Amino acid sequence: VRVIVRVCACDCVRVIVCVPSLCEDLLSSVDQPLKIARDKVVGKDYLLCDYNRDGDSYRCSTEYRDLYFEGGVSSVYLWDLDHGFAGVILIKKAGDGSKKIKGCWDSIHVVEVQVRAGAPLPVQTGINNVNCFYLPNLGNMDMENKIRSTLNEIYFGKTKDIVNGLRSVQMLADKSKQEALKNDLMQVLSQRSKQQS
């Protein structure tokens, strides 16, 4: 995974060097690994992505803690729309490098909240809690759970199956004998159960 992440960032730059006109399209449609920058004023880390890129600089924002990640860095950037607001929620968690395994989880959630005319507005209590009102809906990032399960069961499982289809630890002759024996057994068993019934 680390190899692919590293190659991806370089590949994007290489394509842009060849075809500069694709620059904006590429950067906005290809998800790069999230980069971490430091806000020296507040003394906190924040994440960079296309949404808070302004020319070549980035704007910093507040963090939300997330019980799912037990650490990591998160950043949220919100901007006004005509009838509501939109935002991006970024989370980056790197493995601690123990047990000789390296890994990194980046997630980019893009949300759009539309406020319909006539909808009841949250009561202002003198604190700027408009965004908090929508938090239960935004925070329920079910998609991420689904993706994580899919990654674990389907993607990793499938690549393992492909590897075991390229080569067999068990000798192929033995494997086919085993298959034949299994089929014979199943035939005998099903015949026997037919006779008994």
Please answer whether residues 47 and 75 qualify as being in contact, where contact means their C-beta atoms are separated by less than 8 angstroms.
yes
Of 83 and 146, nearer to another protein (C-beta) is 146
Residue 80 makes contact with another protein by CB under 8 A:
no
Please answer whether residues 106 and 49 qualify as being in contact, where contact means their C-beta atoms are separated by less than 8 angstroms.
no
Tokens of 100: 């000789």
Q: Quick one: which of 114, 159, 187, 190 contacts another protein (CB under 8 A)? A: 159
DSSP summary character for residue 127: S
Q: What single-letter amino acid sits at 168?
A: S
Residue 121 makes contact with another protein by CB under 8 A:
no
Residue 140 makes contact with another protein by CB under 8 A:
yes
Of 96 and 184, nearer to another protein (C-beta) is 96
Tokens of 9: 């960032």
Residue 35 makes contact with another protein by CB under 8 A:
no
Stretch that binds another protein, among 10-18, 42-50, 79-87, 178-186 (CB under 8 A): 10-18
With residue 27 as reference, give the H or E element that holds it.
helix 23-29
* Rg, the chain, Cα only: 26
Considering CB under 8 A, how many residues would be counted as binding another protein?
A: 56
Q: Quick one: which of 11, 24, 25, 39 contacts another protein (CB under 8 A)? A: 11
Q: Quick one: which of 29, 117, 162, 197 contacts another protein (CB under 8 A)? A: 162
The β-bridge relationship of strands 57-58 and 53-54 is: antiparallel
Sign of CA dihedral 193, 195, 196, 197: positive
Residue 149 makes contact with another protein by CB under 8 A:
yes
Measured distance CA(160)–CA(193) in Å, rounded: 36
Length of the chain: 197
Of 129 and 187, nearer to another protein (C-beta) is 129
Interface with another protein by CB under 8 A: which residues? 3-4, 7, 11, 14-15, 17-19, 67-70, 93-96, 99, 101, 103-105, 107, 125-127, 129, 132, 135-136, 139-140, 144-145, 148-152, 155-160, 162-169, 171-173
